[in-house]
Amino acid sequence: MLAEGVYIVGAGMTAFSAKLHANKTGRELLVEATWEAVKSVDKGITLHKDVEALFIGYFTPEYYEHQSHIGPLAATWLGLTPKPAFRTEIACASSSAALFAGVTAVASGLYDVVLVAGVEKMTSLETERVTEALALASDDLSESKVGATFPGLYALLAQAYFRRYGATWEQLQRVPIKNHYNGSLNPKAHFQQTIGQMAEKVGKKLGVQYKDELDFLKNSPFNRVVAYPLRLFDCCPISDGAAVAVLASGRAARRFTDTPLRLLGVGLGTDNVALQDRADLTSLVATRNAAEAAYRTADISPKDLDVVEVHDCFTIAEWLAVEDLGLVGRGEAPRAYEEGLTGIEGEIPVNTDGGLKAKGHPVGATGIGMLNEVWHQLRGTAGRRQVKNKAETGLVHNVGGSGASAAVFIFGR
Amino acid sequence: MSEGHLSLFYKELEAGRLTGSKCKACGEVFVPPRPLCSRCGGETETVSLKGEGAIESFTVIHVPPVFLKDASPYILALVRLEEGALVMGRLLGYDPSKPEEVKMGLKVRFEALKEKHGEKEETIVAFKPLEA
């Protein structure tokens, strides 16, 4: 239970991109996202005066920017010194840990207004070195040393899933096709082209005509195998970006807006880091536990959700997520995706912003990037990707690594 | 100073033996050995493992970490040992360009694999088909 109400009164993010931010550092991306969050506060906010603490997720700044001690550094660049500021880290869910820290700080009554943030500046390194940085989230001895990569770990989960439910890679391709379509409607997405548009472009270059999107994904030399059976389009890209939200207590929220989002539920989950230490390869137990806690605190069921953001770092992760969050039953994801259940116009829209796959995945920024999407969907400002029926309740699901960490947050209007 | 669980694991691995830990409370077996059970937190004892089991999942790595640039593509498998533990290892004896020939449930046997990771020689867990 949350002792005190926690409200979101502002949110902002940079575009997620591999190109746009080439000449910016992580701290500058953070300022850019914060500035947008400040401007999103209906009745205005003065950072230095109003914000009492800062929590910031950044997975491996040591690798990308030769920098630790990110909390105070961020405070300096946001003019927040001498307010308390520290960094949180649970791999790809690092900014969800920041959000959790902010939520508990406000719910405890300690602070009335806090800033929560996430950032990752990844493109400063070559792809090979980025792969190394990401591998730090797996078990170094039992996994990295044996030759596992992140695509490899999710490929092992995909193979186990395929085997158990008789599903196929072809069926899984509904995930990137949907997410790229959604990304094409999001001006901040890393990829803003549908797979059909890409197929046409690549086809023209190669003098080939692809029958449809699946034909392109199956037969284009562009979609090479990364870790069998997963290919390039089964993997999210390497992106730069930052995302921010402003949290306020019940007594402070109305000073900033008459239409805040209310945090309804929260849950965290943990599992063994190494896949070989897990009880189940066809499900993420950390997600199941986080979801159960979040539904319990919110006192709602999956049926009550209008829009859902899930962690699709690899295509198979989206299938596991929709099952582990209880949106569909175990083993039902392939059919649900064939029926279009999770499209923007579907019964349970999932990853309306393009997901990690098309929106991009600046690791430390992803969780609060998802919160930004729910912020827009619930306030009706999601533009061309706005879900049809008025969204009252939204869920954010963020995973660290191959599933050892998971965070679930539920928001309402 | 007493031996660390992991230093013992790697010493044994270099000698071609696979070790794990068995929980004195719940009986769960984990590899590598560790002082407390990862399932129930109970105390464990270090056990030698026969190293035979069946493939539960596998993948072929085409984009490897930098230190394995020259080794790829290679096959990684998760193997369920007869003693109950799940173990990740390199799968030998198959052509990585023909993943369709690797079958789930295939019976395999542990083998220690020595390979160069950059300048360093490392010993890692590997598996070979049982009938080979």
The percent of residues above 90 in pLDDT, for chain A, comes to 97
Q: CB contact, 8 Å: B125 with chain A?
A: yes
pLDDT at A69 over 80: yes
> Which candidate from A147, A277, A278 shows the least CB-CB separation from B76?
A147
User: Is residue A164, in this structure, part of any structural domain at all?
Assistant: no
Read off the pLDDT band of B132 (50, 70, 90). low
Q: Is the dihedral of CA A153, B36, B113, A163 positive or negative?
A: negative
The percent of residues above 90 in pLDDT, for chain B, comes to 93
CA–CA–CA angle A52, A39, A95 (5° rounding): 55
For A155, nearest residue in chain B (alpha carbons): B59
- Catalogue the E-assigned strands of A282-364: 307-309
pLDDT at A388 over 90: no
Which residue, A202, A92, A159, A201, is CA-closest to A319? A159
The answer for A403, left when phi > 0, alpha when psi is -120 to 50, beta otherwise, is left
Model pLDDT for residues A37-54, shown as the tens digit of each residue? 999 999 999 999 999 999
User: Is residue A171, in this structure, part of any structural domain at all?
Assistant: no
Read off the pLDDT band of B118 (50, 70, 90). confident
Model pLDDT for residues A357-375, shown as the tens digit of each residue? 999 999 999 999 999 999 9
The whole-number pLDDT of residue B1 equals 56
Tally of domains in chain A:
1
Read off the pLDDT band of A146 (50, 70, 90). very high
Read off the pLDDT band of A390 (50, 70, 90). confident
Q: Please report residues of A whose CB lies closer than 8 A to that of B125.
A: 146
Q: CB contact, 8 Å: B78 with chain A?
A: yes
Do A412 and A396 form a contact (C-beta atoms < 8 A)?
Answer: no
Question: Residue A166, Cβ neighbours under 10 Å: how many?
Answer: 10
Whole-angstrom distance, CA of residue A219 vs CA of residue A205: 15
User: Is residue A365, in this structure, part of any structural domain at all?
Assistant: yes
Q: Please report residues of B whose CB lies closer than 8 A to that of A272.
A: 38
Do B104 and B113 form a contact (C-beta atoms < 8 A)?
Answer: no
Average pLDDT over residues A157-164: 98
Q: CB contact, 8 Å: B116 with chain A?
A: no
User: Is residue A180, in this structure, part of any structural domain at all?
Assistant: no
User: Is residue A341, in this structure, part of any structural domain at all?
Assistant: yes
The reply to whether residue A135 touches residue B65, judged by beta carbons under 8 angstroms, is: yes
pLDDT at B54 over 90: yes
Please enumerate in sequence order all residues whose Cβ is within 8 A of that of B127, keeping only pairs 6 or more positions apart, or say none.
B53, B55, B77, B79, B89, B90, B91, B92, B108, B109, B110, B111
Average pLDDT over residues B77-100: 98
List the beta bridge partners of residue B55.
Answer: B79
The whole-number pLDDT of residue A389 equals 75
For B105, nearest residue in chain A (alpha carbons): A163
Q: Which one is the CATH code of B50-132: 3.90.650.10, 3.30.379.10, 2.40.50.840, 1.10.1240.10?
A: 2.40.50.840
Average pLDDT over residues B43-51: 97
The whole-number pLDDT of residue A1 equals 62
Read off the pLDDT band of A3 (50, 70, 90). confident
Q: How many CB pairs under 8 A join A and B?
A: 96
Q: Which residue has the tokens 């034909």?
A: A215
Whole-angstrom distance, CA of residue A385 vs CA of residue A397: 19
A254-259 long-range contacts (CB < 8 A, ≥24 apart) are A255/A43, A256/A9, A256/A10, A256/A41, A256/A42, A256/A43, A256/A44, A256/A45, A257/A9, A257/A10, A257/A41, A257/A42, A257/A43, A258/A42, A259/A42, A259/A379, A259/A413
- Counting Cβ atoms within 10 Å, is residue A39 exposed (0-12), middle (13-18) or buried (19+)? exposed
Q: Distance (Å) from the C-alpha of residue B1 to the closest C-alpha of chain A?
A: 22
Do A394 and A306 form a contact (C-beta atoms < 8 A)?
Answer: yes
Domain coverage including residue A365? 6-126+237-412
The whole-number pLDDT of residue A300 equals 97
Model pLDDT for residues A297-338, shown as the tens digit of each residue? 999 999 999 999 999 999 999 999 999 999 999 999 999 999
List the beta bridge partners of residue B21.
Answer: B30, B46
The token duo for B83 is 């003693």
Whole-angstrom distance, CA of residue A19 vs CA of residue A70: 23
Q: Please report residues of A whose CB lies closer than 8 A to that of B59.
A: 152, 155-156, 159, 227-230
The reply to whether residue B66 touches residue A281, judged by beta carbons under 8 angstroms, is: no
Q: CB contact, 8 Å: A104 with chain B?
A: no
Average pLDDT over residues B21-38: 97
Q: CB contact, 8 Å: B88 with chain A?
A: yes
Whole-angstrom distance, CA of residue B14 vs CA of residue B10: 6
Higher-pLDDT residue of A194, B3: A194
> Which candidate from B59, B85, B87 shows the least CB-CB separation from A156?
B59
So where are chain B's domains? Answer: 1-49, 50-132
Read off the pLDDT band of B3 (50, 70, 90). confident
CATH number at residue A79: 3.40.47.10
Model pLDDT for residues A171-224, shown as the tens digit of each residue? 999 999 999 999 999 999 999 999 999 999 999 999 999 999 999 999 999 999
Average pLDDT over residues A15-31: 97
| A85, amino acid identity | A
Which residue, A352, A318, A358, is CA-closest to A334? A318
pLDDT at A262 over 60: yes
The whole-number pLDDT of residue B13 equals 98
